[in-house]
Structures are given as C-alpha cells and as structure tokens.
C-alpha cells in the first residue's frame, strides 16, 4: 500500500486528482450559476423540462443521450438528469440514462480500438488527447474512475482506453462508477427540480 501511495505521488496522480477535482468543482459551480441565471432572468426551467417530458418520447431522449455520450460527451448529463426528475418514474429513467452513458462509453471504447488500426487517425487522436492517454497508461483503472465520476467527458476516457488497448474487463468494472455519479448528481438535482 505504501509503494502504491509513493508511486502515485511520484507520478503526480494526486496533483492530477486535485487539479481535476478543482476544475470539476468550478465546472459544476458555473453550471449551477448559469442555470440559476437562466431561471431568474430568462426562462422557467421547470416549465421547459415539463415541456420536454410532454412533447418528446423517452425513447427519443434516451437515444439522443446515448449518441451524446458516445461521441465526446456533447451535452452535460445533468440536463438529462433534470429531465428525468420530471418524469413519472424518475429513478427508472435515471437508471436508463446511466445505462445509456455506460453503453456509450463501451461504444467509444471499441471506436478507439477501431481507430487504433488507422495510422493517420491514430496519430491525430494520440496527439489531440495525448495527456489523457499518458495518464491512462500511468494510472489505469483510477483514470477510468475519474472519467466516470468527474466532469471529464467519459467518452474521451473510454476512447483513450480503447485506443491504448486497456484491459476491457477492467474498463467495464471501473466504468461502473458512472452509475454512482448519476445517483449522486440525481440526489441534488431531484431536490431542485
């Protein structure tokens, strides 16, 4: 245990976690501030979420979220968690959202493996997300957990995992922390909406 602690200290894993937690905290605060500002000055978010629940079928929303979670995490999951709070069965919808995020990560993982076979794309991606790949090689499962729990796009970590051929079973295990993130965020968001 002491050797692992020393290794993480030498490889600056703790500094990375601190930096990521700080950035994640700032991102969450900005997101909450923007939502509060929008709610106060421009739109009624509750009415907007109610409208989304009434006008779009859950299948469409889940499909859209799966696409978002597969390709670089285009939309923050918090929007969809707030949407699920307005449904008749919010915890079941939350489970489906978390599952869509998990499956989106798996698709991104296999996309990374496929891209690894194309030399020009491999070169481009390795340079675009080089920092994430270096960290994943150094810290393995902990980096996948960080990607699952914090506001780092989960799909980028998943893509990098596939790109460097990180053990798939280990990836599946560590990516389960994505469910915990959804529950923790839901406990806060469900109280607001």
pLDDT digits (tens, 9 = 90+) for 19-75: 766 766 676 677 667 767 766 777 766 676 667 667 778 888 899 889 988 887 767
Q: Looking at residue 143, what is its pLDDT? A: 73
10 φ/ψ angles, rounded to the nearest 5 degrees: -65, -40
User: For 110-121, how does the pLDDT look when each residue is reduced to its tens digit (9 = 90+)?
Assistant: 998 888 888 887
Q: Looking at residue 33, what is its pLDDT? A: 77
Q: Looking at residue 136, what is its pLDDT? A: 67
Domain spans of the chain? 2-192
Q: Looking at residue 79, what is its pLDDT? A: 83
Q: Looking at residue 66, what is its pLDDT? A: 92
Higher pLDDT, 89 or 57: 89
User: For 133-191, how does the pLDDT look when each residue is reduced to its tens digit (9 = 90+)?
Assistant: 676 677 777 778 877 877 777 888 888 888 888 889 999 999 999 999 999 989 988 88
C-alpha dihedral sign at 22, 145, 71, 131: positive
Q: Looking at residue 145, what is its pLDDT? A: 82
CA distance 169 to 187: 29
**Cβ neighbours of residue 159 closer than 8 Å, sequence gap 6 or more:** 108, 109, 111, 112, 115, 125, 129
CA distance 181 to 144: 13
Residues for the chain: how many in total? 193
Cβ(53)–Cβ(87) below 8 Å: yes
CA distance 157 to 144: 6
């Amino acid at each position: 245990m002491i050797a692992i602690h020393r290794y993480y200290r030498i490889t600056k894993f703790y500094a990375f976690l601190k930096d990521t937690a700080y950035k994640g905290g700032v991102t969450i605060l900005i997101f909450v501030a923007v939502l509060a500002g929008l709610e106060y000055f421009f739109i009624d978010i509750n009415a907007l979420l109610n409208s989304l629940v009434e006008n779009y079928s859950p299948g469409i929303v889940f499909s859209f979220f799966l696409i978002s979670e597969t390709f670089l995490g285009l939309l923050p999951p918090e929007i969809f968690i707030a949407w699920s709070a307005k449904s008749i069965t919010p915890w079941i919808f939350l489970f489906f959202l978390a599952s869509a995020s998990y499956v989106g990560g798996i698709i991104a993982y296999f996309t990374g493996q496929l891209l690894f076979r194309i030399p020009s794309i491999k070169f481009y991606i390795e340079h675009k997300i080089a920092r994430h790949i270096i960290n994943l090689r150094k810290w393995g499962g902990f980096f996948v957990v960080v990607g699952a729990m914090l506001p780092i796009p989960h799909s980028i970590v998943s893509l990098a995992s596939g790109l460097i051929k990180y053990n798939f079973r280990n990836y599946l295990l560590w990516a389960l922390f994505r469910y915990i993130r959804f529950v923790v965020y839901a406990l806060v968001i469900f109280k607001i909406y």
